[in-house]
Structures are given as C-alpha cells and as structure tokens.
Structure 1
Amino acid sequence: MTQATPKYRAIFISDVHLGSRGSQAEALCAFLKLNTSEHLYLVGDIIDGWRLKKKWYWPQAHTNAIRRILTAAKRGTDVTYIIGNHDEFLRAFMHFRLNFGDIHVKNRAVHLGEDGKRYLVVHGDMFDGMMRADRKWIMHLGDHAYNFLLWVNTNLNSVRRLFGLPYWSLSAALKKRTKRALNYIHNFEDHVAAYCRRKGYDGAICGHIHVAEMRDIDGITYMNDGDWVESCTALVEHHDGRWELLDCRPDSVRTSVPVVKTAPVGELELA
C-alpha cells in the first residue's frame, strides 16, 4: 500500500508550554491529527520547565500532544526539537547527543527550503537581551506577569462567551498598543535579521516572543511561528515552496480577522 503524500513539506510550531495551564494542547492535537508533513520542527518552549519546577500540572491533553508528535515521528516524519528557554533543562544533556526515540534534539537547525534558501531555525531566546544572566530575573518576573494576564484573559473570555462575544486576547492587545512592547518586538526581529546577515543565512524561523509574523527585513526573510497559548498559529511550507501562517484555533474562539498570511514562491509578503 502506497503511503499518502504528506500535506506539507514542513511544519513549524513553538511555544506550546506543555505543563502550564495556558497551553492549548487539545488544539495542537487536533491540528497535528489533520496535518502531516515531511519535516516537523518544534521550535522551543514545547515543555514549560519553568512552570513545572514551581508546580506540577500535566493533564491528559498534554500527554496526548506528546503522543501525537511521537506518532508522527514513528510514521516517517523527520521531527526536530529545538530547545528554548522554558525547556532549557534539556541543554544539560546535549553532550549525550540527546534524542527522544526518532526525535532529534538540537539547539538550532538549518532548514533548506524548496526555494533553495537556507533558513536558521532557532527558538530565539539568544536574541533576547532579557535572557542575559544579569537580567534573567526580569524575564522570570515577566513570566509571572504573563501568566497572570492569561488567568485574567481566561476569566474575561468566559464572561464574553455568556454574551455571545468572540474571543479577545488581552495580552495581544497590550502588545499592539504599548510602545515599549512594540519596540521590544521590533528590536528582537532586527537582531535576528542582523545575525542571519552576518552568518550567511537567507532567513530565520523562530518563536519565543509569541507574535506570529512573516516579513522581509532588508533582504532577510524573517518568519515567526507564534505560539500555542493564545494565537495557536503554525508556519507551514508547501511542496511548491510557498510559505503560509495558519490560524489553528477552534472556530468558536477565532477573532473576526484570522491570522493567516501567505507568500508565493520566491516572494515574501511585507508586513
């Protein structure tokens, strides 16, 4: 029996944060069940070691997400796990050439696109000034604040559903309207592009900042696959070389304007 051709050439997902209450593990399971690929990149913060270290939380849905990934690898998908800052505990085992079954664990990878370009695949925490050793406490403080916003957001949307109102993200709204947050995002994107330019990469695929984006930065292709806490976005590469950002949230919680961007072969849409 001939095995069916995978739907996509490559799928990139990050910031699932399994082990935290904000993780949309069920939505991820539904997405992976319906969407197959030749390559699957888990671009960091798949497991939230920071949260698990403080308090253990691991429902069945989070186990199901791991099983879905393992099943994809068993069925022939080339799965690469890129370590992020929330799952940085895995870096202590890197010298053992750590693998989970058929899943390859790395700090970074290079994806050769169908368009012939070399893309650096990295979580992105290395480009975040807050991840410096002398500033890391600020990042942990910000993590607490973000989780508080998620708690507020969950309760707020419970009330909105009672009135038939669509899902609304408080943290996303703050990111878009706060000058400091916008500067942080733009600085991060510029640092990624500058690094790629110095090292000879054509582009970068990352996560970390929970902001899905596709844009050209002075000739460097910058793509961020978003997160699976609020936006539930995935970056995919089609077999013809076209790139696309998908909004994978259930229809019941989608906003009126879905996050979906596409780029034709050899051309990236400007943000």
Structure 2
Amino acid sequence: MAAIECRSIFISDVHLGTRECRAEYLLDFLESSHCDHLYLVGDIFDLWSMRRRVYWSAEHSAVIQAILDKAHAGTRVIYIPGNHDGALRVFAGTEFQGIQVRLEAEHLTADGRRFLVSHGDEFDALVRHNRLVKTLGDGAYQVLLRLNRHYNRWRGYMGHPYWSLSAHVKNRVTRARRYMRHFEEAAAREAVHRDYDGYICGHIHKAGIESIDGVLYCNDGDWVEHCTALTEDFQGNLHLLHWSDHIRTEVIHPVPSKAAAADLPLAARIGVAVP
C-alpha cells in the first residue's frame, strides 16, 4: 500500500493501557502515513483505567515509538491531554522528545482557515459536575466495550470484518444521541464565540464533519470503537479516514455553505461510513 502523504493528522481517544485500544490498527495507520503536523487530541493514554488495571502489549509500545519517530523526523507533534490523561495537563507549555504539550491549539489550514483544537471534555457538564452519573455511565460503557471486543473476536474467527457493536448500541440510545448532539452544538458555539472557522475535537467517540451555525465541526473519532483519523491534504481539504478495514475515505470536506451542505449525501452530512 502506498504511503498516505498529508499535511496534518488529528487522532484522539486511543486509550493506550486498556484492552479496548485497537493499537494494531493505529500502528498500521501511523506507519502508513507521513505528515507535517500531528495532533494528539486527548485520551491517548487511559490513566483512569490504568489505576485499576493495566493492559500493555508490544503494539502499545510500538505506537508510542512511532509517534516519537515522527517527531524526531521533523513532524510537528502537539499533544493536548484529555480527561482520561488529564494528569498530563500539568506539563502544558513544555516539550518532551519533540512533542509539545498544550491545553488547546490553533491550527491554520493550507487554505487559510483557523481551527480551534481541543479534546472537548470542557463541554461535558456531567463529567465536570456529577461524578456519580459519570461513574454509572462509564461502568455501562466499559461493559459495552468488553462485549464489543469479544464480539469482534468472534467476527474475525468467522471471517467477518470489524464492526463496532458498542457504537451501534450507543447510537440507538436516545439519551446518548441527545448528549452527543448537544456536545457538537456547544463546540460549534465556542468556535463562533472565539471567531474561528471551525472546531476539531474528540472525546465523544463519534467521528464526523458537519457545518453547524456557519462553522465546521470536526470530530476525529477514536481508536477503540471506530478507528478513525481526521487528515488535511495540502490544499486544506479535510478527510475523515476509517482504518479498521484498511484505508477508506468517509468524508472529504472543504467548508461548505449551508445550502451546499444540504446537497451533500446523507452519509457525508452525518459522518456515516461510505464504502
């Protein structure tokens, strides 16, 4: 497979240190791609889960080494800690092995658009203000992820491709859909308020590119359920890639007008995979 040459790559929600991390897919993606800018948009490590139990494989170490190799080769690497690796926020403003740690970042695309980049947990009032609800929700989600792992082990044995059971269930729970929509709208409002052209984040494990309130909301997804990354080409177009079945481009987006967005295929407007 030919290497992917792009200007920028955004990945988040890798959750290294857990069994749910699809490190083998991410390693394949990192080794198959070259970029000028690499943004690690939070939850690269799952320090929350690692307090209880640590799962660490050779692929997890290889992912870290692949990122370090890119930094040493000249790629500008920015690490924005999320809520699961929030302990690393104390290092904001420092640099380690060529990796810059920031609380947030501004990304200027090749065509001159300004994007605010952050993990996104700052919009999650449940995480910030209601620990009991968060703990109960996180527990149910962890059960879903374990089921997802076993289910896909069976699918692989039967010769079927990866498919996210956890994402399927989550996207059909009304409360979860409502929360994700409120999150997307809050991120778009923040971009409008701060006079950015768009917002790039992670956190909710729902990849997508969508024009909301005149700005471009971009979520790079995760490497637990979906195995997705957001990339920018050298013309400034944003691409959403799904990697679990090898490379597949799902959405390609310059910033569209609202009228133009209405004419896009439904899959492109809502971020659903297009084979």
Corresponding residue for residue 83 of structure 2: 85
Tell whether 2:243 aligns with 1:245.
no
TM-score (norm 2): 0.88
Q: Distance in 2 between matches of 1:27 and 1:166?
A: 13
1:259–1:226 CA distance, 2 compared to 1 (3 A): farther
Q: Distance in 2 between matches of 1:37 and 1:150?
A: 31
Unmatched tracts of structure 2, length 5 or more:
271-275
Residues 172-223 of structure 1: per-residue CA shift (max 9 Å, x gap): 1122222111111100000001111111111100000000000000201100
Instruction: Say if 1:115 and 1:266, in contact at 8 Å, map to a contact too.
Output: no
Instruction: Say if 1:241 and 1:265, in contact at 8 Å, map to a contact too.
Output: no
Q: Distance in 1 between matches of 2:16 and 2:179?
A: 25
Secondary structure of 2:16's counterpart equals coil
Q: Distance in 2 between matches of 1:125 and 1:69?
A: 23
Instruction: Say if 2:201 and 2:220, in contact at 8 Å, map to a contact too.
Output: yes
Residues 70-103 of structure 1: per-residue CA shift (max 9 Å, x gap): 0000000000001100000112333xx3322100
Q: Please list, as runs of the form range in 1=range in 2, the aligned pairs for 1:246-261 lying within 5 A after superposition.
A: 246-251=241-246, 260-261=250-251
Deviates more, 1:137-146 or 1:29-38: 137-146
Corresponding residue for residue 52 of structure 1: 50
Counterpart code for 1:249: S
Deviation at 1:42, TM superposition (A): 0.3
1:180–1:259 CA distance, 2 compared to 1 (3 A): farther
Corresponding residue for residue 171 of structure 2: 176
Corresponding residue for residue 63 of structure 1: 61
TM-score (norm 1): 0.89
Deviates more, 1:108-117 or 1:258-267: 258-267
User: 16, 19, 22: which is aligned to 2:20?
Assistant: 22
Q: Please list, as runs of the form range in 1=range in 2, the aligned pairs for 1:194-213 lying within 5 A after superposition.
A: 194-213=189-208
Counterpart code for 2:78: T
Q: Distance in 2 between matches of 1:231 and 1:55?
A: 23
Deviation at 1:47, TM superposition (A): 0.6
Counterpart code for 1:101: Q
Q: Distance in 2 between matches of 1:112 and 1:22?
A: 33
The sequence identity of aligned pairs, in percent, is 46
Tell whether 2:106 aligns with 1:116.
no
Tell whether 2:189 aligns with 1:191.
no
User: 13, 30, 45: which is aligned to 2:11?
Assistant: 13
Deviates more, 1:174-183 or 1:34-43: 174-183
Residues 153-173 of structure 1: per-residue CA shift (max 9 Å, x gap): 222233334444443322211
1:166–1:75 CA distance, 2 compared to 1 (3 A): closer
User: 28, 31, 41: which is aligned to 1:43?
Assistant: 41
Q: Please list, as runs of the form range in 1=range in 2, the aligned pairs for 1:126-137 lying within 5 A after superposition.
A: 126-132=122-128, 134-137=129-132
* Aligned structure 1 segments of 4 or more residues deviating by more than 6 angstroms: 265-268
Alignment root-mean-square deviation, CA: 2.0
Residues 12-51 of structure 1: per-residue CA shift (max 9 Å, x gap): 0000000011001111111111101000000000011001
